Amino acid sequence: MAAAIGVVVIWHDTVLGWLFGAGLAAVALWSRPRMVRPPDGAEEVSRAEAPTLFGAADRVAHATGAAPPTTVYLHDRLLTCAHLRVGVRRRPALVIGLPLLLALTPRERAGMLAVAFAEDVGGDPARGLLVRSALLAAGEWRHALLSARVERYRPTGDPLIDMVWFPGERLGSQLIGKITGVVLGWPLFLAEFALTRLLAGQSQVARYYADHVAARAVSTPAVLRYLDALTMADSRLTPILSAARRGASIDEIRRAVPLSRDVDREAMLARREASSARRTWRDLAPPLALRAALLEEGDAQEGSTGIDETESDRIDAELSHHLARTVRTLSQSSS
């Protein structure tokens, strides 16, 4: 932005100066620090609408030392739970994917909340405003510049239209744009790669620490079962989708959720290895398999905070119409 202002001040009497300055200003605006926003399609719920959910969240947040959420967002298609700092004031907010909530037992729900809140106290630099914005900006620029495609011209069959479109010139302009994108995009790719590698180690240590904080809050088995539920997410969702297509009620769908003790240990270990193999260089968080293995090898923690069957049922009752909408969405998407 400073360069844009300098160019306009120096060459204010030329059109080229204004165009170049406007281009630099556009780059500055696109690279600005990004405020965190809730995901598209998320629906906000108030404390008056879901007092039990907020009560459980406040209790787990206090146990982990994180800021309790000022608001909760529910999403019909996300299979995740995250603690975010939303907006300019960075208000603490909790984003809960309703398909994930349906697939978890009460103990695993306590682990879900603890893991989400513990990330707020883990000290992960990638959650900071400037570092997160730098990663997002570098990724967006790299994708915009390196993902340009050169498409061959396909004649329409009308000789007049085909003559006007100049297929040779059209293909040439696409090739020039592709080459320009590669020339400008590779330095951004290298910058994104370097920043990701610099952050990877600190982010992994922060996530391991957050897992231990969560285990101290709600117990090691609760966190382990939650991580294993994420690892076995597809097998958790399969009976839910089948029940949703049959038109089952929320209670029947909840009873269809497989318990952690029913999962084959060998299948679990194989799925953990598969999740580790899918990790790419852009992933800052460590694989679920390594997080679970470190918790298993460490000292077992027995936290004083949890969610029992009664409280979990009250949460389902409070969110009944949201869960019913999610079930309809799942049944439509899987049919």
Would you write out the chain's pLDDT as a tens digit for each of its 335 residues?
Answer: 899 999 999 998 888 888 888 888 887 887 777 788 888 889 999 999 999 999 999 999 999 999 999 999 999 888 899 999 988 888 999 999 998 998 898 999 999 999 999 998 988 888 887 888 888 877 777 777 777 665 555 554 555 445 444 455 556 666 666 677 677 777 778 888 888 888 888 999 999 999 999 999 999 999 999 998 888 887 778 777 877 777 777 777 777 776 555 566 677 777 777 776 677 777 888 888 888 888 888 777 787 788 998 999 999 999 989 988 888 887 776 55
- Alpha-carbon gap, residue 248 to 84, rounded angstroms: 33
Q: What is the pLDDT of residues 79-126, one digit of tens each?
A: 899 999 988 888 999 999 998 998 898 999 999 999 999 998 988 888
- Alpha-carbon gap, residue 239 to 145, rounded angstroms: 42
Is the alpha carbon torsion for 218, 85, 131, 195 positive or negative?
positive
- Alpha-carbon gap, residue 87 to 140, rounded angstroms: 20
Strand partners, 95: 73, 82
- Alpha-carbon gap, residue 71 to 46, rounded angstroms: 7
Q: What is the pLDDT of residues 179-191, one digit of tens each?
A: 776 777 777 788 8
Q: Is the pTM of this model over 0.85?
A: no
Q: What is the pLDDT of residues 248-271, one digit of tens each?
A: 777 777 777 765 555 666 777 777
Strand order in the sheet with 43-45: 43-45, 71-75, 91-97, 81-86
Question: What b/e sequence results for 26-48 when a residue is b if at least 16 CB atoms lie within 10 Å of its CB, and e otherwise?
Answer: eeeeebeeeebebeeebeebeee
